[in-house]
Structure 1
Amino acid sequence: MAPTLYLSRRSPPCRTVLFVAKLLNVELEEVELDMRNKAHLKPDFLKLNPRHSIPTLVDNGVSVWESRAIAQYLCNKYAPDSQLYPREPERRARVDTVLNWDLSSWGPALRNSLTMKAFRGVEPTEEQTKALTDSLAVFDALVAANGGFVAANHLTIADLSLLANSAAIFYLDYDLKDYPNVKQWFSRLEKEISFYNDFKSEAIEGLKKIIEMHKTPA
């Protein structure tokens, strides 16, 4: 039986899991949750994930939530020798470091500046703008240090997580001229991941719909 993934295709973290599963050839049964109608707060779902967040993966009775944890789980269980998540402790630590930086710094920097500007029409503060440019500088340095990727000299789940979480960069046509390595990284992955353009189009369309939802009262 295929693992079940509770998701919204508009969600960047959910796209991380879809990217990883596709590259590992792991078939998933997708269950789209209607977040506006509080499907994630129903008792049956709360038993699977008390934080009531998506994505949530259920695999033979095991429930895993948080996109990065799910990506790690899929690699560990279904492709333990995949270079997407190297086994060697030192190499894996570099991947984990970038995944945690994505969670603690890159994601919030995007949300608090670009994404909230798009959703709410509110200009980011000077501090929020600096957080984004600081994060982009780190991002650029990571790519420069790893031969065109962010955590190793090849594609890893850290690249996939960052890629999935960066749709706002494209939707808002953010100028990356000061971050040439990041710009080249996006171009490279767009070419190397055969299915990415379909996801990119879906992500941009999803952002448009979310912005419209924020403009329209529920």
Structure 2
Amino acid sequence: MDLYYLPLVGACRSVLMVGKALGLEFNKKIINTLEGEQLNPDFIKINPQHSIPTLVDNGFTIWESRAILVYLVEKYGKDDSLYPKDIQKQAVINQRLYFDMSLMYPTLANYYYKAFANGQFGSEEDYKKVQETFGFLNTFLDGQDYVAGDQYSVADIAILANVSNFDVMGFDIGKYPNVARWYDLVKKITPGWEENWAGALDVKQKIEQKQNSAK
């Protein structure tokens, strides 16, 4: 099973963590998007959107990390613990995955990842969007251990990958007590956390290098 990825990218790390939870081994193939490797014609033949992560499983190709996560747990899960068969539980997990895609990652990119371009973080308005997003997540976690209810799921792993990037960049998660409690818990129980954190540290290092070179 080939995984085209870059450890720097939180979405790629979420796939690695789910893979570890399922006991899967990937044939890892680095695509350095910072160097434009995603535009290589050979990769575009695999994924015309030239995005990572991209998974090729015995001739079947799928991209978009959250779609990959659901595919993996549906096909390779020994049980339905990470993605329950109950339709309503699935619906909540899916909503949290879409929340991660439509708010968690965009607010991360719009505020912190702008520094990859010019060494400068986003605007005050961008930062307010980050705070608003964490407020939503804090509300989701009110009275429950995990983001989609009382059961640990792929949604926790997906959101963990992005929250770790906010954490490494110095965002004060402690201002959101439910998120802080959840974060402490899922770090301990998620297989591959250490590799994920190493990738997050790499994000911080590369942004700091860009900031230093922009001075």
Report the TM-score, using the length of structure 1 for normalisation.
0.88
**Which residue identity does 2:43 align to in structure 1?**
F
* Contact persistence 1:95–1:156 (CA under 8 A): yes
What is the DSSP-based 3-state SS (H/G/I as helix, E as strand, rest coil) of the residue aligned with 2:181? helix
Residue 25, structure 1, aligned to residue 14, structure 2? no
Residue number among 161, 168, 171 corresponding to 1:171 in the alignment? 168
* Contact persistence 2:107–2:130 (CA under 8 A): yes
1:170 positional shift:
2.1
1:35 positional shift:
2.8
| Alignment match, 1:196 | 193
| Alignment match, 1:85 | 83
| Alignment match, 1:144 | 142
Deviates more, 1:111-120 or 1:16-25: 111-120
1:154 positional shift:
1.8
1:138 positional shift:
0.6
CA distance in 2, matches of 1:62, 1:213: 38
* Contact persistence 2:157–2:190 (CA under 8 A): no
Residue 208, structure 1, aligned to residue 211, structure 2? no
* Contact persistence 1:6–1:57 (CA under 8 A): yes
The number of equivalent residue pairs is: 214
| Alignment match, 1:181 | 178
* Contact persistence 1:84–1:157 (CA under 8 A): yes
CA distance in 1, matches of 2:41, 2:115: 34
Deviations 1:38-70 (A, max 9, x none): 322122211111110100000111110000010
CA distance in 2, matches of 1:215, 1:208: 10
The aligned runs of 1:82-161 (5 Å cut-off) are 82-117=80-115, 120-145=118-143, 147-161=144-158
| Alignment match, 1:16 | 14
- In structure 2, the CA distance between the partners of 1:91 and 1:15, relative to structure 1 (3 Å rule), is same
What is the DSSP-based 3-state SS (H/G/I as helix, E as strand, rest coil) of the residue aligned with 1:144? coil
CA distance in 2, matches of 1:46, 1:211: 31
Gaps of 5+ in 1: none
Runs of 4 or more consecutive aligned structure 1 residues displaced over 6 Å after TM superposition: none
Higher relative contact order (CA 8 A, sep 6+): 2
Cα RMSD after superposing both structures: 2.2
1:119 positional shift:
6.2
Deviations 1:152-173 (A, max 9, x none): 2121111111111123322222
Deviates more, 1:11-20 or 1:159-168: 159-168
| Alignment match, 2:33 | 35
What is the DSSP-based 3-state SS (H/G/I as helix, E as strand, rest coil) of the residue aligned with 2:122? coil
- In structure 2, the CA distance between the partners of 1:194 and 1:52, relative to structure 1 (3 Å rule), is closer
| Alignment match, 1:6 | 4
Deviates more, 1:190-199 or 1:11-20: 190-199
* Contact persistence 1:57–1:64 (CA under 8 A): yes
**Which residue identity does 1:191 align to in structure 2?**
K
Report the TM-score, using the length of structure 2 for normalisation.
0.90
Deviates more, 1:164-173 or 1:115-124: 115-124
Deviates more, 1:169-178 or 1:87-96: 169-178
**Which residue identity does 1:110 align to in structure 2?**
L
